[in-house]
Structure 1
Amino acid sequence: MRYPSSITMIALAFLISLNYLPIVQPQSCSNTGTFSSNSIYDKNLDLLLSSVPSNVTANGGFYNATAGQDPNKVYILALCRRDLDSTTCYNCMNTSSQDITKQCPNQKEAIIWDGACMLRYSNRNIFGTMEVVPSQYVPNPNNISSTVVDEFNQTLYNLMGSLVTKASSPKFAVGDASFSNSRKVYALVQCTPDISQTDCRICLQGAVEDISSCCGGNEGGRVLRPSCFVWFELFQFYDSTLANSLPSPPNSTQPITPTSDNSPPTKTSKEESRTYRLAKFIVVPTVGLVTVMVLTWVILQKWKSKSKPNVDNDDAIKRLETLQFDFSTIRAATDNFSDANKLGQGGYGAVYKARLPNGQEFAVKRLFGNSEQSEEEFKNEILLVAKLQHKCLVSLEGFCSEGRERILIYELVGNGNLDQFIFDPIKRAQLNWEMRYKIICGIARGILYLHEDTRHKVIHRDLKASNVLLDDEMNPKISDFGLARLFDAGQSHNMTHRRAGTFGYMAPEYVSHGHYSVKSDVFSFGVLILEIVSGKRKSWLCNTDDVELLLSYAWNNWREGTVSNLIDETLGNGSRSEIMRCIHIGLLCVQENVAYRPTMASVVQMLNNTHSSSLPTPARPAFLIYSDTDQDEALLESNS
């Protein structure tokens, strides 16, 4: 049995001398509930904890198991750093299995991290699911010299980017990089083997992003998450020999059954636990996913480097030429972009269904034109959407840039877009109120994620019915980020001389003066709510051949007390209180005064609090003069 290397021991001693590795490990105790001492849950947990040290070493550093039956079933997951030998792993797990119940007494869910291992348990299934909360930050107390901090940050994020890509399949990677002459920074990244390669990438990318907020300017630091962790220092804290020689730990789930729910459980022997071992092989990632990984690191380098704040997108695309989808592959997958595979067409391109030889299906968006503007939007969408991950946002899987062809490759969403449903006289009858309300709430959560739950605020700028896709279960997914813009921390608004978007959804301050902010998306969302409720477009021709604007129509009926005229006639059995509340919220969102419009956080809260009637009284909406398609384009072109 191998003992820790001298380098590892010196590094750990150095960290302890700095109080960098605290006596009490970072931990989190969930508030999901408690159990009683000597209860069945307590006995099942004791059984699992006692089995962890031996089983985690026997299984190559990773072990997950269950004990008991619902509602007293316990799930446990243990992970050692892959660069450590079995003795260090065993000792770490032995200590953690004793400390976790001391630090989180009688908690049904808890997690504890150590410098060498992580241990968590729960009363719910925690296997195979990527989780990023709770998370812990452990910065090195020493600061990097200000004379080299920019070079250090650039080197660190380049290193982390390469390690995230490298860790995709084995879920682990270590490496180093030089900066400031002969100085080096060392880093380690690792995921739990039970999650997918894609989830591992997402988890690690988010952890690396957190480094700047927790450990920016420090000589080292750790970001610890339930499904992954990252670590960097100015000295070699890992054993590179072991890291590069050990095989990947198997992904195994082992049920441990107590002899009786009413009697103390007996321990399962190592031989018995091995009977349940099942190695799961991970599918090699597609080229598209590799593309997404590398693109995301281009974003990180662009955002976080002080010395080079403006990364050239052209250079980024060139560096990715060897990783993109070949046009011949996409052409074959769409049967040469046949009409039979055409899913739809918008102002920027046509969308086709693509099927690769391995059976994978994607949605392929082939962009029109070859102008400077379309090229900018193509690059913008790649660099931006690759970073965004939310169930209410469409997922970008790759791209193709070959000759004049500019193609974006997305996950395939089965039911087209919202525009094709709510404005179709036949299909809109399929959308009952429950479905429409779910769609409204899902879109709101997606926009809230863009505005507040990403590191940088994202303003979509082109939110409309045709840019909301619907999956097989009619869940909404926001798409088309070609016009989206990032806001830095503390930035509330911006201005542009080139307006772009869809007339009728665009906020008045944006159309008139080029001002845009999160409230611009709120305005678009308000228009979208009123369209979903009414089944009417933002403007339409009346019987008198006059043009009726949805906002003025809604406002006039609201003011006159006839707002029921706005409700789609197919919603006869829908909840009138919810429908009226959504109309109210929609009118609040489209108010002319930017300051009067709610934030998306407030909108989500209003949508969730359906039993409360205390909503502010809406003020007059912004009435924009109607113009047809040609006039819209002329207006936007002249403003640019």
Structure 2
Amino acid sequence: MKIFLSLRTLSFLCCLLFAASNLAFESHASVTSQEFQYFCDEHSITIDIEGNYTTNSTYHTNFNTLMSNILNNKKIDYGFYNVSYGEYPNRVYAIGLYRGDIKPEQCRTCLNQSRANLTAVCPNRKVAIGWYNDELCMLRYSNRSIFDRMDNGPAYYKKSDKNATDLNEFNIKLNDLLNGLKSKVSSGDSRLKYAVGNFSLPNFDDVYGLVQCTPDLSGEDCDNCIAQSIERISKDCCKDSMGGRVVRPSCFMRFETSYQLYGPTAYTPPSPPASPPPTTTSVTNPSSGGKSHTSILVIAITIPIVAVIMFMFIFIRSRYLRKRKQRKSNSKDDNTEDMKIVESLQFNLESIRDATNDFSDANKLGQGGFGAVYKAWRNWKDGTISNIVDTSLRNSSQNKIIRFIHIALLCVQANEADRPTMATVLLMLNNHSVTLAVPSEPAFLLNTGSNTSTKGPAQESVNKASITDPYPR
């Protein structure tokens, strides 16, 4: 009888543990310890994208190369990687994110341990994500593009065992703190989206909060991701609790009572590179030093712009006059005006058909006053930038071509504040050691129904395989 009762008790305890594990996550998660939590698949994508890869296959080789590139890269100034390697269908994508208060040496250790854990618990899985040591870092990889898109799942949450005493005032203050941090983090730039803060109550311990988004997200997507986490905290997750967290692939939120859960911010984005010294000498008034600096900056920016505009005007004017003279000498009938229109085209019809895949709607990004507009932004986001390179340039340096396209996309971003100055453009063109920021959508881009956009990383050709330069944040 004693043996029978023991077996029933053991069975009951197992059921309780299983139920508790299901309640602890929004979707099924495998957890080896309190230090490492992970998922071996993604429920937000179709099953045919997931699956396993074969050992020693092309995908396996690309995966190992990509992981090696991340772990051996010593430059992690902003605690963020978004890299890819290989060609479709064996292309591998990866994201590495470190909490904003973690030092570089801790980052490398954390990422290396996450990689070892993930490959051990998710062997040969194409899709996996893991958070190590209380979310100090996150490692995520997939066989689909995961850049510049908000993913709410798979996700999990935890809460403290202690409940607040003065619930009404505590919940109001907590909601104000988290919403304030949401506004701060969503206004961060493409290098760092991280914010911390705290509040105090009479006869109550201080409460500390931390929020972070992957910096490749737009401000709007970051705001939405954090807003959904706040809603989860205030409802079924951590309501009336003195501590809790909601962890998603694209954002992370946590609050604790009695101890400061974060340290000083480890990554501070630097100021933009200084402009080259101007060639014009100006007389300054000692009492107006600020105005003199402003004048020098205006001159340094204006002179290159004016020079470029004048050069373009002279070049276009000379070509126009030369073509006009040719047309007059070859004109033999009354259809001169029609001939001018045809001959003034810079590209013939066959070239345009070839560039737009016979005016395919797949390349159409919008409709303008002069008809359909075809651009190459989609190729950049999809990581297929080589598709827009002219065949006559195939033997040229692919790295230079991709870098020039990258710089051009930075110059036409929708937010004017994100566009580089002419001096910065010249510096990026002439100095290949300058790290380029990830470009955002151009001002002229019209989305075609998708609410997410993807920035394809810069690619380098290595033995006929494509690799994206990592962009540390």
TM-score, normalised relative to structure 1: 0.36
> Which structure has the higher relative contact order (CA within 8 Å, separation 6+)?
2
